[in-house]
A and B are shown apart, each in its own frame.
Chain A
């Protein structure tokens, strides 16, 4: 019985601790108080449940225990600081009315937590750190490791963000319909940044840091469940379709393998099927956004059993939609590569040279890498060499640099 309860408690922590935290933040009006209360509630459960049995509704028990513990704590501190007594009283009265809420309200708390952590008045790196800490329950050490910074720096970033939430009074709410689209974009951006940091980290020795991309997929799933918006589905689809190639993307030695050279039998067909289902649903909605369009492109790659069977025509169709609705130099670059695949290297190179003349991507190593590949195909070896060298100089990630160096070496002459 004893170890049974402990196991159940451990599972409950995994499944419910973020829900309980999200509700406690609403009831107590403070991240710090809520975190302490969550900790105390699980401690109380660990000591009481083995003796008294697990309550019928463990989550409600944890919320109400955590709330009482926090108010108790304030009352104890009030012996030294009278002003806290008043805080404790009003907290007690206020939250008393709100404790026994329906499940919808509780689910909304998780959304409130996500939107608060991704509030645009917090610095982008603070949004990411806070989301990973509060929503995903990663430790500061884990987050610091993932972003190659020290735990002290990261902890400070989180403390500062929480202080700003408190003192600027960032409300704990899901934005109203007028603000929702913009605010949702900010949330999606945080999730996609986390995913990309995991999938193709911009620094360091490894190509992928799996934990982060898995965390991002988990976040995407949670958001899709809480807020079934087409772009949320589009982003989840995009992440799943990329993630599906994970096993094929690097060699045993940790080297990068390009899409056209990957062993497609290693692609995860379950993830692909899920991603494609989501893309289809998102595409028929009225609000087709950039994530959905990129996911549609990824789905077309996933559909081709061999690289030669890729439907570049269809892919270009989606790139055209993408550049019309959401123009960006990176989209132009990717489109140029697709044009090269359909119409030949010269056509692609012309587009890249135009882009390069615009000057906005000249510090982006992939522009030079793409240019190098096309020059090589056209037999313009000297230009290719120069472009590979530029790409290598700009590339900060070791596996990608090794890949580019191998390309440079294999140039004839």
Chain B
């Protein structure tokens, strides 16, 4: 009986994914979603990948990672170099480029995860920040990719279909990860590292796993971005970009994948839809961060949040 629910769940997830795809695809072929909005939908999908993958380290593992833009940049540049120097048919070259972007970022993610074995919390956050800045600085100094001037004429392979299915894969795989024994191990480290060890969890291994998983998808997102824009500049991948992804993650709820999807969508559309507030974007982000934290974690505001929360029976 239960075996069926597992299968049903899987079928349902795939069904919803396919239905969503067909929905968007038909709106696009009917011209209801024009090419401008198609671009926004693609950006949303890229942001979903970034936000959900950041959520693995920041929300589930519980380590504040401030260098997500660095992984993205690494994936973007390496994949762009690959597809500019190799001439295969696009349907082979592009997936390879995505994979290479992901794998390279994953390798860097592995390197960044090494300090996590000794450090936690604030110090680790600073290390990830330093990592992001190093990546950007190094990119500024690499001649092959044009340094600060930027890297142009990257083949524009990124389509809605590719982006959508990669975002869906990222979401579904993250969800499965969280519900597997590996995912529970990752969450248990956030909750209590010492108790996790005492329960037989190799915490070092799972910390690395979380970072590798997260950076892989950040790299893939970077590769998608590179082949969507056709042009890359190190300045794009600055601390602001990492913070922007963090804001999406925080607004949707740390450790909430569905929330990440929704907030990535909202925070992508909002500045586009309301051009006049675009200048205030970073200011709004700042306020979102502070208010979210206060409302969620400050005892003074606890009552405020309960108004929105449906009453749970377990609290009775």
Query: Do chains A and B stick together as partners?
Result: no
* Interface residues in chain B, defined as those with a beta carbon under 8 Å from any beta carbon in chain A: none
